[in-house]
């Protein structure tokens, strides 16, 4: 006798539902332009608070480079300066929150923004910080590796000697070429997994793996547009560091606010 339950279909509510990440949209160059305009408007709306995050990032960069010189790690100064923008997405968390609140016409002050940032350590943002810092560590380690392999016979005791070796010797040119290619690869990886992951984690209750996968899907769906955005970020950040990192006081906030608005266009809102 056949059991009534054998081979039967379980009730709908008991079936495991497939887990899918947020829906991603197609974006265009016009979306980047519109996001830049919105980001600049956010900066002008709260210039002091926005500039604070840029100032904090710039001061941290100056102190970081000074510590390397003080510790005698002269060989790390240029790689650190070039790799320093890798941690910018995490540093811009407060800017994302500002843009989110301005978009909803919510009033806020220092306490609200700083409280939200502090609370991120209890959420998935901490894991994204770990991913970011891990890639920065890999960048630093591979620079040391190429330095040992390529410039093993070079000698430099001060920063000027290091610059002379790197920019005016064949070995230095090789070191720059190899380091640039390796750095570009790591930057591309980090950009791909974080470009919308950071604002997504701030905006929604979602795990960091899903956030990274969503970010990868955004880049895969819009490779040309997102590559353009990556180039804009890279060039702007590097040029901003030329005047002793001080340009970051203005450019980091604008890029941070812009990233929020681009995220809003690239990732579909949650369904009610």
Read off the pLDDT of each residue in 20-46 and give the average, rounded to a whole number.
93
Q: Model pTM?
A: 0.80
19-29 tens-digit pLDDT: 467 999 999 99
Q: pLDDT digit string (tens) for 96-148? A: 999 999 999 988 888 888 887 777 666 677 777 788 778 878 877 887 788 77
Helix spans in the chain (H): 29-45, 47-70, 77-83, 88-91, 93-103, 110-119, 125-150, 159-168, 170-194, 197-203, 208-221, 223-240, 248-266
Comparing 7-11, 226-230, 250-254, the range with the smallest average pLDDT is: 7-11
160-175 per-position pLDDT tens digit = 777 787 788 888 888 8
Write out the two tokens for 182. 């390796």
In 3D space, the residue among 35, 54, 44 whose CA is nearest the CA of residue 95 turns out to be 54
**For residue 16, what pLDDT is reported?**
43
Residue 261: which pLDDT band, with cuts at 50, 70 and 90?
A: very high
Residue 193 to residue 213: CA distance in whole angstroms: 7
Mean pLDDT of the 37-51 span: 95
Please say whether the beta carbons of 221 and 215 come within 8 A.
no
CA distances from 167 to 7, 127, 161 (A): 73, 38, 10
Per-residue tokens: 117 = 């940032």
> So what's the pLDDT on residue 34?
96
Per the DSSP assignment, residues forming a β-bridge with 24 are 267
The token pair at 155 is 């000698």
């Amino acid at each position: 006798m056949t059991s009534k339950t054998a081979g039967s279909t379980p009730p709908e509510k008991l079936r495991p539902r497939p887990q899918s990440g947020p829906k991603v949209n197609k974006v265009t160059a016009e979306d980047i332009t519109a996001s830049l305009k919105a980001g600049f408007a956010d900066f002008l709306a709260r210039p002091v608070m926005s500039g604070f995050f840029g100032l904090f990032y710039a001061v941290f960069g100056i102190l970081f480079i000074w510590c390397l010189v003080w510790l005698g790690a002269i060989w790390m100064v240029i790689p650190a300066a070039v790799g320093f923008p890798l941690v910018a997405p995490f540093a811009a968390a407060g800017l994302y929150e500002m843009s989110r609140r301005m978009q909803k016409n919510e009033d806020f002050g220092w306490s609200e923004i700083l409280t939200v940032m502090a609370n991120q350590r209890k959420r998935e943002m901490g894991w994204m910080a770990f991913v970011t810092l891990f890639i920065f560590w890999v960048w630093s380690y591979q620079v040391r590796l190429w330095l040992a392999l390529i410039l093993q016979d070079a000698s430099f005791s001060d920063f000027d000697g290091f610059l002379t070796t790197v920019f005016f010797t064949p070995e230095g040119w090789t070191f720059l070429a190899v380091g640039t290619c390796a750095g570009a690869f790591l930057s591309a990886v980090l950009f791909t997994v974080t470009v919308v992951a950071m604002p997504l984690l701030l905006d929604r209750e979602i795990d960091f793996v899903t956030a990274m996968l969503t970010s990868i899907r955004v880049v895969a769906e819009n490779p040309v547009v997102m590559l353009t955005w990556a180039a804009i970020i890279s060039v702007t950040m590097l040029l901003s560091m030329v005047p002793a990192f001080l340009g970051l006081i203005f450019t980091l906030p604008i890029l941070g606010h812009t990233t929020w608005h681009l995220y809003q266009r690239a990732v579909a809102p949650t369904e009610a």
